[in-house]
Amino acid sequence: MRLTSSHGYDAARLDSVVEYLLDQQLADGGWNCATRTDKGKHSSFHTSIQALEGLDAYTDAGGRVDPGESLRRGREFFLRHRLYQSHRSGAVAIRGSTRFPAFPEWHFDVLRGLEHFSQAGAQRDERLGDAIEVVRRARGKDGRWPTYSPYPGRQWFVPEPPGPSRWNTCRALRVLQWWDG
């Protein structure tokens, strides 16, 4: 949905897809791809960020279905988790989420989550403060943010080798500019 909307696909033709996605939202405000078989599952950070990004792209492309309440509930899901923490223990929910790949693919990470809030023009919320500090601490002595080895699996090309990253530096600086306002 995100790609089709971003590349000019007629948003009205995505209305039924959006309606289905909205119907799949869980009680905690997020989404989980495994709910086809178990509606009692907790929402997934990975699935939820993709749903929010897709809904934003669809809205920006002029879609007719209003996902406003679902977007609000999805963002609240992340805010209740301080973006990346377990709601039970407060520990990092996904170990790799505090490291930033050049291109997140289907994985959630803290920088990607913050990008969603900043690109959506969301108000700064103190519950994102810990996540902002994760980004600040990840900055290298050279002033740049690193990228890490790509996810396992076939890679058609390597956008950037592991190490100081122009792409992640740009991403992080945009997020911090939004936060520092």
pLDDT, tens digit, for every residue of 98-143? 999 878 888 999 999 999 999 999 999 999 999 999 999 999 999 9
Neighbours of 140 (CB within 10 A): 12
| Beta-carbon contacts of residue 55 (< 8 Å; ≥ 6 apart) | 1, 18, 21, 67, 70, 71, 74
Contact 71, 52 (CB under 8 A): yes
pLDDT of residue 5: 58
Alpha carbon distance 59, 71 (integer Å): 10
Please choose, from the candidates 64, 60, 71, the residue with its C-alpha nearest in 3D space to the C-alpha of residue 22. Answer: 71
Residue 53 C-alpha from the chain's centroid: 7
DSSP state of 29: S
Neighbours of 118 (CB within 10 A): 18
pLDDT of residue 137: 98
The pTM for the full model equals: 0.91
Q: What is the pLDDT of residues 34-58, one digit of tens each?
A: 866 666 679 999 999 999 999 999 9
Distances (CA, A) of 11 to 6, 63, 167: 10, 5, 29
φ, ψ of residue 85 in degrees (nearest 5): -105, 155
DSSP state of 84: T
